[in-house]
Structure 1
């Protein structure tokens, strides 16, 4: 029986072998296939069969993981999603790309091409890049500071959207008899000039099926939240507790409204990494099985990379000192959001170093949940109906089995409860998210000028 008209959004966040750092070591995994495009096309078809809104790929222009102990992702996601587009029909396709290490015109072309090729299913996860390892790969002496990266990001998005808008929707005339392909009065230079960027335009391709790709964002710092309130149409975030999710959700919706936007057009999607089994005890046993495959040296290095806190000098079975995370700031600061998530785990649970590494092994600070399909559906419904989420970024501990298990056991429960679609009702990612198609900012300008 339907519980209401509002429905969940579900994305499959694809890490090649799974979100648990030891997934590649599990006997059921296929780490030898992480450069095989057919593997990712199969994952896309699984997600589409379950009516997921989209698949999502993280990315970064540097090798952050210690590949001695981890099967690190390596394929560039926009290219990969183009291949997945050919193997699917309705599934949304979201890729991460950095405003720090791309140029606006180049990136606008990549996402415009993906949106055209897929028939309107592209989304751009906008990041500023959080690691200074990338700087040397681009000939820079240092990674730009946080504030400068966000200042550039604001200009970058304004320039890219203007490029996508520079062709009005009816710019293509396509009149062979008159010899006119396009009305050049409806194709505009953008003449964008900022402190960090300068882009003339116009764009060299027509407007895409969605108007422009969906804008996604994943930063939870104060700068990130402000950026999300102004631009983001979907937000990926990490929270451990319902009350933290509710506070973030309310804050983002308030910020969107302050920018004159409709808060309903900003989808908040926390991450959840579910270990699913027929009984709760079996689900926890499955989680322990994965944790026992972890390599402590890898987890210690990841913790340092993730939040800058080094605990390698401590014995693995010694409690983590709370004071090591004293620099996380309070919940109103948000300048180091992921550090705050981990500091909260340490303060509440007082784990040993080994226990903390296990807590983070599953999803790098995103919420890990072990339970039956009904329990997973219950926690999703709780967050969805209590103002903490518009949907979830599903982060299976292991691919492909974890996605298949979620699709075959949890999704039917959510559908039975009327919380998730049984069929697609549209063909674009905007349709799936319930987002309007944006009008070109240049529409009508030529008529006004005349």
Structure 2
């Protein structure tokens, strides 16, 4: 393996009782954890003490499958707090760990979202990141707009809006230069109005004047995170993202994604090292491989067939599979949907390997398409190291199958082995802001960049 000079980054993906489809049914899980603040506070403090770089919260602006016969069995993950509200609470009880939340560009307005994230960045001391997504759930469209607007936008249109949304938010985050605040009591001047900048954005989707009524944070602006893996998603990530959450099942696929996105970024004039790619991974571990596999099987046995089928249908964009035999193959030709293109392709690739419908939903039950590892600490870290040193990842977004057991196992068994091999710092992450922890540069204000370019020119 090629030795890297850097160390891998670790994020913790928070999700109610855990990431396995049957997590809430496990004997060690608190079934109503998704609506208990103390649960999230405990996890955040535990992760910070263990040395995780980030916490991550996903989001959905609808309850999925509400009309399905399995609704009463699958609703558990949908009942949780709005992520920005929860992030504010977690910012108050932590002091070091980065805090990243998902917010959709499909059903938000740039000014409000820019203001919310800028406020959280100030409150947390510069520890906030925004996971920019578009909404692929057709149920979400029914919760926004008038009767004539309640249609899900096409994939390309969602990404067109997302690009412009990002541009508007970036302008708003640069409303004030770093040293705009004077607080000169003697002269009575509170702020330097010459350091104020308007967005003056007029585009296809948005007309926003600005400025934002929140100052720049200690890290300049929130870290921009992206999670799309389709062609449109990769292009957006290459142009805008500073961290990318990815879903892959093999090192070869991870390496292809890693190389493609960083090459696209370089072609746009960006430094590829300033984009951290963090694939998601669910880990079942124990002192021995046999014990780890027993833990995995314990949860697999709790997956109700109807729930597994509903998961697979959802990941395919709502394709009806109810009339197909569970032990038969997934049809090669599926209806075209407007859902996540990358997840659909991942499932179809697995199906082409000969997996039946039942085998497919069990394969995906651990982490909805993310990588699943089952084994002893040595076996697990061997795999993580191969992805990191093989340029398939700059770190990992950890998706514990259950809480608290899955997180406790990672901290007690995997982290010591990662430290022993020098893959993560023994002394823990360095830096006060999220940018510093991820090894990302401070974003200079455009006005300062122009001033420097002018000074060089003369």
Q: TM-score, normalised by structure 1?
A: 0.94
For 1:200-232, what per-residue CA distance to the aligned partner results, in whole angstroms no more than 9, with x for missing partners? 011101111111000000000000000000000
Query: SS of the counterpart of 1:407?
Result: helix
- Contact 2:278–2:396 under 8 Å retained in 1: yes
- Contact 1:280–1:371 under 8 Å retained in 2: yes
Q: CA deviation at 1:126?
A: 0.3
For 1:301-337, what per-residue CA distance to the aligned partner results, in whole angstroms no more than 9, with x for missing partners? 2211211343321222x23145246979xxxxx9821
Counterpart of 2:431 (choices 426, 432, 440) is 426
Q: CA deviation at 1:445?
A: 6.4
Q: In the superposition, relative to structure 1, how do residues 321 and 353 fare at CA in structure 2: closer, same or farther (>3 Å)?
A: closer
**Inter-partner Cα distance in structure 2 for 1:175 and 1:291:** 64
Q: In structure 2, what is the equivalent of residue 338 of structure 1?
A: 343
Q: In structure 2, what is the equivalent of residue 264 of structure 1?
A: 273
Query: SS of the counterpart of 1:202?
Result: coil
**Inter-partner Cα distance in structure 1 for 2:451 and 2:243:** 32
Q: CA deviation at 1:246?
A: 0.5
Matched, 1:23 2:23: yes
What does 1:392-431 correspond to in 2, within 5 Å? 392-422=396-426, 423-431=428-436
- Contact 1:92–1:428 under 8 Å retained in 2: yes
For 1:103-147, what per-residue CA distance to the aligned partner results, in whole angstroms no more than 9, with x for missing partners? 011001110111111111100000011112111101232111111
- Contact 1:166–1:442 under 8 Å retained in 2: no
What does 1:230-245 correspond to in 2, within 5 Å? 230-245=239-254
For 1:312-364, what per-residue CA distance to the aligned partner results, in whole angstroms no more than 9, with x for missing partners? 21222x23145246979xxxxx982111111121112x223222211111111
Counterpart of 2:136 (choices 130, 137, 140) is 130
Q: In structure 2, what is the equivalent of residue 83 of structure 1?
A: 89
> What value does the CA root-mean-square deviation take over the aligned residues?
1.9
Query: SS of the counterpart of 1:18?
Result: coil
- Contact 1:162–1:441 under 8 Å retained in 2: no
What does 1:296-445 correspond to in 2, within 5 Å? 296-308=305-317, 309-316=319-326, 318-321=327-330, 323-324=332-333, 336-348=341-353, 350-422=354-426, 423-443=428-448
**Inter-partner Cα distance in structure 2 for 1:105 and 1:412:** 44
Q: In structure 2, what is the equivalent of residue 331 of structure 1?
A: none
**Inter-partner Cα distance in structure 1 for 2:65 and 2:432:** 36
- Contact 1:186–1:446 under 8 Å retained in 2: no
Query: SS of the counterpart of 1:208?
Result: coil
Query: SS of the counterpart of 1:34?
Result: helix
Q: CA deviation at 1:432?
A: 1.1
What does 1:184-223 correspond to in 2, within 5 Å? 184-223=193-232
Q: 4+ runs of 1 displaced by more than 6 Å?
A: 444-448
- Contact 2:330–2:357 under 8 Å retained in 1: no
For structure 2, list consecutive stretches of 5 or more residues without a partner in the other structure.
none
Q: TM-score, normalised by structure 2?
A: 0.92
- Contact 2:144–2:150 under 8 Å retained in 1: no
- Contact 2:4–2:389 under 8 Å retained in 1: no
